[in-house]
Every structure is written in structure tokens, then in C-alpha cells.
Amino acid sequence: MTFPAFFDTIPSITLRDPLAQLLGAADAGLIEYSYADTVRLAGHSCPTVAGAYLMTVKALRTLYGDEPPQRGAIKAEFRNSQLEGTTGVVANVVSFITGATADNGFKGIRGKHDRRNLLSFEAPIDGDIRFQRVDTGDSVTVAFNAGVVPPPPDLMPALLGAVEDDATPEQRQAFAASWQDRVRRIFEQADHPDLVRCA
């Protein structure tokens, strides 16, 4: 599989997963997650997937600093219903990186490593997602604003043209390049204070 070259420039994040360590899946339980891994999960790269990745990484770095975040010990609460807009897509990314699940995750072993009930929706928060450390109770709320990097005016017409049955390979290739160029520009603005607000 060949990804756009800019994927390689996006910083990854390493978490420590005690369950992975217990079961011998990763040395010292350390697992690295990249944007490319997130794209493999989602099956596509878009501003929503990019925003989910950026919000999660920024929140975890805020909560843990230089320490590896502990996967499976992080709660994530969403403002919206899981069926509203792109919330489900974002929640899948958050779950993938943090290990948090609603009621369908790993049940644990003798009361340890339970991944259930760490993901919830329709929370009364001022932001998109609130992340909370289970061990300390520290939390941070994040929100993503894709409008900081607006699409070119012809992007949506190009999308509609690209999905038509009679679209040419050149049309589809031109649209795909333009679409990923916006995602690239979003990551280039990762440190913009209004792209991912953190409180």
C-alpha cells in the first residue's frame, strides 16, 4: 500500500498498554500509532480523520506530557450523539488509539484491563471531546475547527464530478490530489491555536 508522501512527516504517538505487555504483544507494552495506522483503520484520509488524530494526540500530550499515555486508562466523552454527523468516525479513531470502548470492548481479566465504559456520548461539555485520565482524574477538552484550513472553492464540485459513473481517471486523480492536499495543509497548521482548541 502506498500512502501520500506527507504521511511520513506527521508525528506519531507512543502509548503504553499494560494488557499488551501482559500478553506479550509488545515489548514493555509500548505501541506506536501513526496517522497512516489511523487511515488503515478508517479506510480513508480526510479532514475529519485528520482532526480526530490531531485532537487525540494533542489531548494525550497535554495530559501526560513526556510520559507515554496509558492505553486502556483514558476516558473519552463526546458532546454529540454517536450517530450525529461524523462523530462515529471520530470515535473510532479515539477508540483505536486510546483503547476506550463503550460496552463492546475487552472485559478484562480478574477485574483488570477492562476497556468498557470508557467511551460515552452526549456529554454536557464545551468542546468536541473531553479526555480524562482514570488514574488522576485530570481532564482536557478539545475541539477541532477544519475551517482554519478552508478547501479550495472547486473541491466539492470536483468531488461530485469524481463520483459520477462517467468521470475520467484524470478527473478522479485530480480530485484525490486536491483532497489530500487539504489534509496535508491541515497537518502543516497543527500548531495553529484555533485548529485544535484545548482547555
pLDDT for 176: 96
- Given this model, what pLDDT does residue 14 score? 98
The pLDDT value recorded for residue 5 is 97
In a domain, 118, yes or no: yes
The answer to the question of residue 176 being in a domain is: no
Q: What pLDDT is stored for residue 143 in this prediction?
A: 98
Give the pLDDT score at 196. 98
Q: What is the pLDDT of residues 145-172, one digit of tens each?
A: 999 999 999 999 999 999 999 999 999 9
Query: Which 8-state DSSP code applies to residue 109?
Result: B
Whether 183 maps to a domain, the answer reads no
Residue of 6, 121, 13 whose CA lies nearest to 58: 13
Which residues in the chain come in under a pLDDT of 50? none
With respect to residue 88, please indicate whether it lies within any of the assigned structural domains: yes
Residue 73 resides in a domain: yes
**Residue 189: what pLDDT?**
98
Rounded to an integer, what distance in angstroms lies between the CA atom of residue 65 and that of residue 183? 26
Tell me which residue range forms the domain holding 125. Answer: 13-145+192-198
Q: What is the CATH number of the domain that holds 51?
A: 3.30.1330
106 three-state secondary structure = coil
Burial code (b: 16+ CB inside 10 Å, e: under 16) for 89-122 equals: bbbbbbbbbbbbbbeebeeeeeeebebeebbbbe
Q: Which residues fall within 8 angstroms of residue 38, CB to CB, at 6 or more apart?
A: 49, 52, 53, 93, 96, 97
Cα–Cα distance measured from residue 31 to residue 111, given in angstroms and rounded to the nearest whole number: 23
Q: How many domains does the chain have?
A: 1
**Predicted pLDDT of residue 47:** 98
Question: Does some domain include residue 51?
Answer: yes
pLDDT of residue 43: 97
87 within domain boundaries: yes
pLDDT of residue 152: 94
**Domain-located, residue 178:** no
